[in-house]
A and B are shown apart, each in its own frame.
Chain A
Amino acid sequence: MRYVSFVEHLQLEFSGNLMPQAMVLGDVDNDQDNELVAGNVNGQLMVFKGTDTTPWRMASGLGMTSCAAVGDVCNTGKNVIMTLSAEGWCHVFSVSPNEKQNKDDEKDKEATVAQAKGGPEEMTPVYQQLLAANGQAIVIADIDKDGKNEIVIGYTDRVVRAYSWVESTSATTGQDVLSGKFVLLQTWELVGQVGSIVVTTGVDGQTELLASQPGCTYTTLLMKDTGKGEGGDKENNEDEEEEEERQQASGETVIFHPLVSSRARNPDVSTEIIGNLATGPSDDAGDCPGRGLYAMCTLDGTLMLGQGEEIVWSLQVDHHLFSLTKLDVTMDGKDEIVACGWDGQTYIMDHLRNMVRFQFDQPVNAFCAGLYAVAPGKNVPCLVYATFHNNITLHFNTTLPCLLPTTLTDVLADKERVTQLLQKLNLQDADSGTLQQLYHWCIYGQP
């Protein structure tokens, strides 16, 4: 099994504990550089930017923050931070980038330094609203194909609610305050606890809303008014669907996928899901084999890649996997799956089941992986671990040339030109020892 070690890291000052979904990477100030947002259980929200190990922006009094998300919730074309407290309050923060009015760079730097010394800038929410309590998973996406983003929240009472932002008709009162409100769009009642919710492109190319269910299974959540999608499903599984339809005349909006061959050891174990795994730039060509891929992990150590109703691969590890994200570690346009266990063991896997492991040395409170701008203007892949010791370790530049270990012999065997040249030299039948000597001499022996 291949292990790696990552070196470059930042140690960010963060106090208190946080919920697994209350830490997220995203561009909060709309300057194309990603920041890190983390909210603790004491109502503090911190935003980290660049190499500064102290918070760049801060807010407090938010209650026990259970999840945080960055996205264009209000459909204004700008990203905002949205946090959700266990008490049900949602807070929306609009963050403005560092002011760059001073054209003189040095002055600007001084100003930033002075600002840094003065402590983080306080943020005040531009909007807050009391929604249902005990939300534990959030996703911001356009789920009803109306071109506007909705928020979908999973609750601990096995209910998933979708809200959409409705702007009030009255004139806007100013930039600092948003006018409008979140309106309940749809409610789904599920059988089991929701681990995480994800919006993904299905096998048929349609956007799907998936919620993970205990025991390494998931549920597709359908919109009430998407008649076409439902119709297609009916045609595929007429018998089952019709039975269910009769039982619930109100119209089925929840399709449970039991994944019968799932190897989950415990049917009640909590499960995380991710979708929309990029499978390379060839996606646009139309039909591509990687469409509709999703991955799931469970707390008892099942890692699974699925496509539609089929399991591409699944495996068991002996660590408690509580967080699952995607990240293009090899920089080849394909997303790798990154799963993290409570003890810091991190698995990086590609679609072909090649695995690399990284051991983070402390127990992990929350984990996320994604892009973060360590230097302005460049987002780099990173792994973020929140520990139980009042800090967040952000490993950046976590890239690997490949997941599978290879040797020079393998690389050269794939090169046609080398094969031709070896033939010319009458070495096409040379054994590995001879080739080893030859290659060694080619590299180290000078002509």
Chain B
Amino acid sequence: MAAFGENIGMYEASFSRLPSQSNVYGLSVLSMPTWEGSKLLVASLSGGKMFCLEYQRLQGVVRLVSREIHFAYIPGDADIVSIDSFNREGTQPGTLGGLVIGITFIKDPSNTPAQYLNIYSAAVESGLEYSLDTIAQSCMCNIELQFIPFQLTHTRLCEEDGGDTVFLLGGNDQKIHLFRQDRETNQFMEENITDCFPEFDNLPGNAVWMDTQRVGGHKRITAFGCEDGHVNVAIVNESSKEIQCMGGVQHDGPITSVRIYRSKLDTPCPAVLGNKAPALPVHTTQEGEYHLVVTSVLELAVVYREVMLGGLTRQAILPESNLYDSALCCCVGDVDWDGQNEVIIGTYGQELLVYKYCEGSSRGRHKSNSSVASEKSASLESDFTLLWRRSFAHPILALAYLDMTRDGLWELVVISTKGCHILQHSLEEAAGKITERLETLALQGTTVNGSK
């Protein structure tokens, strides 16, 4: 957008300090029902403290409120490693049944360390499925782990496997572990990962970060990055458990994060507009839309484009991403409001970098197949451009782009070693864009009525 100029007009709306540093696995976005608004759960590394951050409206004024949540059965000397949460399916298919929060921690880290995974959830249909304080007191299970836990994440299994959402936990035993809730006992149990995820069999190293994405046609993209620099991506048929293709590359130095994303994002037209809105082109998910961001400790962050078509062959670098110490985290969001997702990188060198994909070079590549090699080398330099960068006072550990303020405009959440920064877009610019769009809508609305 031309209006943005050199800066995409985001400023720090709020900053919430944490008593001790968090880590790269320390942020979880709580998927609350719509009326609750978005909340964040941030882990503070030492002391086992967890904080819930949300915007609250008091006397007409919105404020970022940070509240400590006391989770039961986490000792005071514990170091939190990773947290994750998901919204489980309700008793009726298609309904939501409440939050499930998983926390991995190391108990007594200095003397006799022991690792645990605690899973919290309120009783089904108790009416308190989203009350954090209730959830925090109802520990469903406390699983002792025989390995050092890494990233805790979740994914939904396909219908053939029951359609449950399961926790996936990486460990230092070169394995990824799957925890699934038993339907009868309601307890989470570890299950054999290869039954559902054959791509996680026989890992080349300790997976520090993984991401899965379900694609239409019973397909699943799985990507993971290892401590030794190995990045693997696999396309799996969910129902037949057949690995359709799998490829890996070796980076120099440990991988810090991987993320599968789509170039566009689907924004459904609000129901209230009905036929007033121009009909959206019927969106078909194309396999060429999926890309993979990889950040690593030593090297430039890269994007592997079109992973479903070409695996890990179409590498595009994110220029200057190695200049600010290690890139630790990444997130994806349409921060310039053009319908295309941008890649956002957070570095230990206290910089936030936003990259935009340039259409021009990719078009050129499709035009002339003969000069693929030369085009590709050129595209290495020009596919992504640094759209915006902002310095922070502290190293950046985690990022998220979501609507915290419940106004339709998303905020960028940046977790630094000192706390949680919320970056808000320039509201005047957003108001301008909305006025423009509403003008068009109103115009279309009147012409439609006139023709009737």
A residues near B (Cβ < 8 Å) are 1-8, 359, 400-401, 404-412, 415, 417-418, 421-422, 424-425, 427, 430, 432-447
Contact = CB atoms under 8 A, between A and B. Distances in A.
Contact of A435 (B55, B265, B408, B427): B408
Contacts of A410: 62, 407
Nearest to B443: A424
Task: Classify chain B's interface size.
Answer: 35 or more
A375 to B, nearest CB: 16
A97 to B, nearest CB: 31
A436 B438 contact: no
Interface string B431-442: 101110111111
A1 B63 CA distance: 7
Contacts of A432: 406
A359 B418 CA distance: 11
Contacts of B127: none
Contacts of A6: 393
A5 B61 contact: no
B191 to A, nearest CB: 38
A441 B270 contact: yes
B405 A2 contact: no
Contacts of B410: 440, 444
Interface of B: 11-17, 34-35, 55, 61-64, 265, 267-273, 276-278, 280, 334, 337-339, 350, 390-394, 403, 405-410, 418-419, 421, 426-428, 430-431, 433-435, 437-442, 445-446
A400 B419 CA distance: 19
27 contacts: A2-B64, A7-B392, A8-B391, A404-B61, A405-B61, A406-B427, A407-B406, A408-B407, A408-B409, A411-B430, A411-B431, A418-B431, A418-B434, A418-B435, A421-B438, A421-B439, A425-B438, A434-B270, A435-B408, A436-B407, A440-B403, A441-B268, A442-B437, A443-B437, A445-B267, A446-B338, A447-B278
Given A7-B391, A404-B61, A437 B408 contact: yes
Nearest to A395: B393
A425 B441 contact: yes
A437 B34 CA distance: 11
Nearest to A9: B393
B276 A405 contact: no
A5 B55 CA distance: 18
Nearest to A421: B438
A446 B341 CA distance: 12
B405 A407 contact: yes
A408 B433 CA distance: 11
B63 A405 contact: yes
A417 B442 contact: no
A400 B270 CA distance: 33
A406 B350 CA distance: 26
Given A5-B392, A408-B430, A444 B407 contact: no
Contacts of B277: 441
B11 A401 contact: yes
Contact of A436 (B269, B280, B403, B419): B403
B418 A5 contact: yes
A433 to B, nearest CB: 6
A408 B394 CA distance: 28
B435 A425 contact: no
B396 to A, nearest CB: 12
Contacts of B62: 405-407, 410
A332 to B, nearest CB: 13
Contacts of A430: 272
Contacts of A400: 11
